[in-house]
């Protein structure tokens, strides 16, 4: 089977309220582009009726549904979608209609005309709460720093990737990955365009603050050794200050005599505690990396596909 021209990959986690409306809007957009296409929906272990609704969509030959065995998280679900996709241009988006499907042709057009490898998107007039936007702002700054790519909005999942980039990404087998950042490792030409952003159509976000903090750590620890460097430079600075303080104590001891120095012993204790604290912190960070090496070394699958549902009578078993 040859490649289709455009595929859309959508991770789905408890989105029963949004799926019918998503398809109602997405289908005409895809048909209107006059290109061969496929729609890949990944059920990321939903607890509601999402999977049943998704399966009903497979009556249409353009739709494939990837059923995962449990909830693996948004980025792993997209990776599972990438593993079955067969298209020259792959567009990712959310299932909650915060990314309007009507913007897909724009992304595809920019990619084709500019011969780009990745086309990202900036959410115009973002419709999210302040508490959701603030962590995104921090993620954007960090992502820009560590990837060295000056994209403005990393969190927006409405993105287009060329098949070569997708193929390279599925070779990675990395756990806890952040797809927009991973893509920049393999992409030479990157563009970014403005897209509309809407309120969630139904249901609620599955990203509480704790998950966002995790994502932030994934991003930093998976793509850079910046935290380790920070500890190293912090350590050098602390030692330097320690030496200065030692010289100060010695001078003061000579000037004011032994009694003064004995009284100052508690200051030394304080300094010691700071150092011990720093060491524990450093060990913690190193432990985090070792933990990651352990996870990678076990080579457990990042996701497990239960089944791929298509309109073929025979369901494809992976």
Residues that bind ligand UDP (CB under 6 A): 11-13, 15, 44, 71, 73-74, 77, 94-96, 98, 205-207
Q: Is 126 or 253 the residue whose CB approaches Mg ion more closely?
A: 126
Smallest separation (angstroms) from Mg ion to the CB of 273: 44
Q: Is 116 or 303 the residue whose CB approaches ligand UDP more closely?
A: 303
Smallest separation (angstroms) from ligand UDP to the CB of 313: 28
Smallest separation (angstroms) from ligand UDP to the CB of 76: 8
Q: Is 58 or 81 the residue whose CB approaches Mg ion more closely?
A: 81
**Residue 96 binding Mg ion, by CB under 5 A:** yes
Q: Is 99 or 184 the residue whose CB approaches ligand UDP more closely?
A: 99
Q: Point out which residues pair with 191 in neighbouring strands.
A: 119
Smallest separation (angstroms) from ligand UDP to the CB of 1: 26
- Helix, strand counts (H, E) of the chain: 11, 8
Q: How far apart are alpha carbons 67 and 43 in whole angstroms? A: 5
Tell me which of 18, 76, 92, 98 binds Mg ion, using CB under 5 A: 98
Q: Which of helix, strand or coil describes residue 73? A: coil
Smallest separation (angstroms) from ligand UDP to the CB of 70: 10
C-alpha distances (whole Å) from 100 to each of 12, 96, 124, 184, 216 are: 16, 9, 12, 24, 25
Q: How far apart are alpha carbons 280 and 47 in whole angstroms? A: 40
Q: How far apart are alpha carbons 121 and 151 in whole angstroms? A: 9
Binding to Mg ion in span 251-290, by CB under 5 A: none
Q: How far apart are alpha carbons 307 and 45 in whole angstroms? A: 12
The piece of 75-83, 88-96, 152-160, 230-238 that touches Mg ion (CB under 5 A) is 88-96
- Pick one of ligand UDP, Mg ion, none as the site partner of residue 81 (Cβ within 5 to 8 A by kind): none
Smallest separation (angstroms) from ligand UDP to the CB of 222: 17
C-alpha distances (whole Å) from 62 to each of 12, 30, 82, 169, 202 are: 17, 10, 16, 24, 25
Longest CA–CA separation in the chain, Å: 93
- Which residue ranges make up the site for Mg ion (CB under 5 A)? 94, 96, 98
């Amino acid at each position: 089977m040859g490649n289709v021209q455009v595929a859309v990959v959508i991770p789905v986690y408890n989105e029963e309220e949004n799926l019918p409306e998503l398809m109602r809007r997405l289908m005409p957009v895809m048909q209107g582009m006059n290109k061969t296409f496929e729609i890949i929906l990944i059920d990321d272990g939903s607890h509601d009726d999402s999977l049943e609704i998704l399966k009903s969509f497979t009556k249409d030959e353009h739709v494939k549904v990837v059923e995962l065995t449990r909830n693996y998280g948004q980025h792993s679900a997209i990776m599972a979608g990438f593993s079955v996709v067969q298209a020259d241009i792959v567009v990712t988006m959310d299932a909650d209609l915060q990314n309007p499907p009507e913007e897909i042709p724009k992304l595809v057009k920019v990619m084709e005309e500019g011969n780009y490898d990745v086309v990202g998107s900036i959410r115009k007039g973002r419709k999210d709460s302040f508490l959701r936007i603030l962590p995104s702002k921090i993620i954007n700054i960090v992502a820009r720093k560590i990837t060295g790519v000056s994209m403005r909005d990393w969190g927006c999942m409405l993105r287009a990737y060329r098949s070569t980039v997708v193929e390279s990404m599925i070779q990675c087998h990395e756990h806890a990955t952040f797809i927009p950042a991973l893509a920049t490792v393999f992409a030479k030409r990157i563009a970014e365009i403005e897209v509309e952003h809407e309120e969630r159509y139904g249901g609620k976000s599955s990203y509480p603050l704790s998950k966002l903090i995790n994502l932030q750590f994934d991003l930093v620890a998976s793509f850079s050794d910046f935290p380790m460097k920070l500890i190293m430079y912090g350590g050098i600075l602390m030692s330097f200050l320690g030496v200065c303080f030692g010289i100060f104590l010695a001078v003061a001891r000579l000037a004011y005599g032994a009694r003064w120095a004995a009284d100052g012993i508690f200051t030394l204790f304080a300094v010691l505690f700071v150092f011990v604290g720093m060491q524990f912190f450093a060990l913690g960070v190193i432990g985090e990396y070792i933990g990651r090496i352990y996870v990678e070394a076990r080579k457990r699958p990042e996701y497990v596909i239960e089944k791929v549902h298509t309109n073929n009578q025979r369901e494809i078993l992976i």
